[in-house]
Amino acid sequence: MTSRRGIHRLYAEDPTMADRQLWGRKVDPVSRRGFLRGSGLAAMSAAVGASIPFAKFMPGGLIPAALAQSDEPFALPGKSGLTVLNDRPVNAETPAHLLDDRVTPAARLFVRNNGIPPAQPAQPDRWTFELTGESCVEAKSLTLAELKANFEHHTLQLQIECGGNGRSEFYPPTPGTQWTTGAIGCPEWTGVRLRDVLEYCGIKDDAVYVAYEGADLHLSGDTAKRPISRGVPLHKALEDESMIVWAMNGEPLPLLHGYPLRMLCAGWPASVSGKWLTRIMIRDRVHDGEKMLGQSYRVPCKPVAPGTSVADEDMCIIESMPVKSLITYPKSGVSHAAGAPLDIRGHAWAGDQSVAEIFTSIDFGATWQVAKIEKAANRLAWQHWSASVDFPEPGYYEVWARAVDSNGNSQPVILPGWNPRGYLNNACHRIAVGVTA
């Protein structure tokens, strides 16, 4: 089980790295003064509850006194209510009841990093990324300003989910961040179609894969190493919903979510949606970047018994995410008076597919009732659902939700097949309800 660390422990291990992770602050090795400005200064100001007039004099690696009185797990800048599961790298999830918004606010979107975010760029419009690769007709580079000026803009609401969401429920336990249900969100994104940018440099007939590289730093600090470099098959990259984006919910991307530019391929593991984008590669082969090989983001090609060791060659790359649902209202543990129905609601999604039906149960899956489900805002957005449930008598109940996708695939009642890395848990979500007389 991943421990949840306090701010003192984070700074004790590596104060310079803590400054980079929390505030994006670089430290002068001679004066030990921190270069804290822009969003980093805003984040620290928000954390301490006021502006910091003399921030330029603050020594690097210093915990603000306002935060130094507690060893409770630290809160991430710009986030509200998230649970921090790791701090090296920073990973945090959102409790289910805080995901009730139809469009996920930036403050409530989970954080999944593999390395250390880069410093906030002072001139984002000059941010440059390359178009290259064996199957790119003509290598080119574009600034963010050129991207905005030369390609048609699109705004879509798109789901994004970590491949390991739900990992904590698997038994035997598997390594990795122990997500429960909160590594999912569905904000509104603005940018350009990835397809339009790929066609700008030209796609050769032998193209197979489209991959990314970002500006994040490897945890070791070694600039020759990349923390992650993944991608998708060409057909996924060419979908209308695959994008290069610079805005979330009408505002510039937060730094933790890829500011100023990221790739987004919704419905697949969020790891294919590279942040801090510096390079897009059109490959003539399946991409072989960091976390593409071995067992990263792969599951057994055939079902295996729990605890089985699986050879790398018997593992297959995860593509479309499975059908899943979440109860976002009420919060688990709610007390409810007998004799009155309880209104419940949530979201459902299904990777590349749509959700066709959703059901609820109050008797541990013995019987199921049909819930109302709405159409998605656009393809690859999650869908909202609602229901009203009645309880026959006072006592302890669990409300379960189960979604079925457009291909007829249903969520498993408890757990899906085990895999060595704990990916793709799409078991029914459930909440506790205490019914009182």
Claim to verify: residue 312 and residue 279 sit in the same structural domain: yes
Claim to verify: residue 356 and residue 289 sit in the same structural domain: no
Q: What is the pLDDT of residue 17?
A: 72
In the block, tokens 């200064």 appear at 41
Claim to verify: residue 178 and residue 304 sit in the same structural domain: yes
Do strands 128-132 and 277-283 pair parallel, antiparallel, or not at all (unpaired)? parallel
**CATH code for the domain in which residue 227 is found:** 3.90.420.10
How far apart CA 392 and CA 404 sit, in angstroms, is 27
Q: What is the pLDDT of residue 33?
A: 52
Q: What is the pLDDT of residue 15?
A: 73
Say how many C-beta atoms besides its own lie within 10 A of residue 27's C-beta: 19
User: Which domain does 353 fall in, by range?
Assistant: 324-436
Question: What is the distance, to the nearest Å, from the Cα of residue 300 to the centroid of all Cα atoms in its chain?
Answer: 23
Q: What is the pLDDT of residue 3?
A: 43
Give the count of domains, the chain: 3
Domain boundary among 317, 342, 369: 317
Question: What is the distance, to the nearest Å, from the Cα of residue 251 to the centroid of all Cα atoms in its chain?
Answer: 18
Claim to verify: residue 132 and residue 269 sit in the same structural domain: yes
Q: What is the pLDDT of residue 32?
A: 46
Claim to verify: residue 67 and residue 191 sit in the same structural domain: no
Domain boundary among 277, 295, 317: 317
Q: What is the pLDDT of residue 86?
A: 83
Q: What is the pLDDT of residue 379?
A: 98
* pLDDT tens-digit readout, 147-187: 999 999 999 999 999 999 999 999 999 999 999 999 999 99
**Three-class secondary structure assignment of 26-55:** EECCCCCEEECCHHHHHHHHHHHCCCCCCH
Q: What is the pLDDT of residue 37?
A: 62
What is the pTM (predicted TM-score) of this model? 0.85
In a domain, 30, yes or no: yes
- Which residue, among 254, 145, 136, has the nearest Cα to 192 in the 3D structure? 145
Average pLDDT, the chain: 91
Do strands 140-143 and 128-132 pair parallel, antiparallel, or not at all (unpaired)? antiparallel
Claim to verify: residue 143 and residue 289 sit in the same structural domain: yes
Question: What is the distance, to the nearest Å, from the Cα of residue 78 to the centroid of all Cα atoms in its chain?
Answer: 15
Claim to verify: residue 166 and residue 301 sit in the same structural domain: yes
Q: What is the pLDDT of residue 14?
A: 72
In a domain, 89, yes or no: no
User: For the chain, how are helix, strand and coil distributed in percent, rounded to 5?
Assistant: 15, 30, 50
Q: What is the pLDDT of residue 196?
A: 98
Domain boundary among 263, 291, 317: 317
Regions of the chain where pLDDT drops below 70: 1-13, 21, 24-51, 53-54, 61-63, 66-75
How far apart CA 242 and CA 224 sit, in angstroms, is 29
Contact assessment for residue 318 and residue 291, using Cβ atoms and an 8 Å cutoff? no
Task: Name the E strands within 289-394.
Answer: 298-300, 315-317, 324-329, 334-337, 342-349, 355-361, 369-370, 372-373, 383-389
Claim to verify: residue 297 and residue 175 sit in the same structural domain: yes
Q: Largest alpha-carbon pair distance within the chain?
A: 72
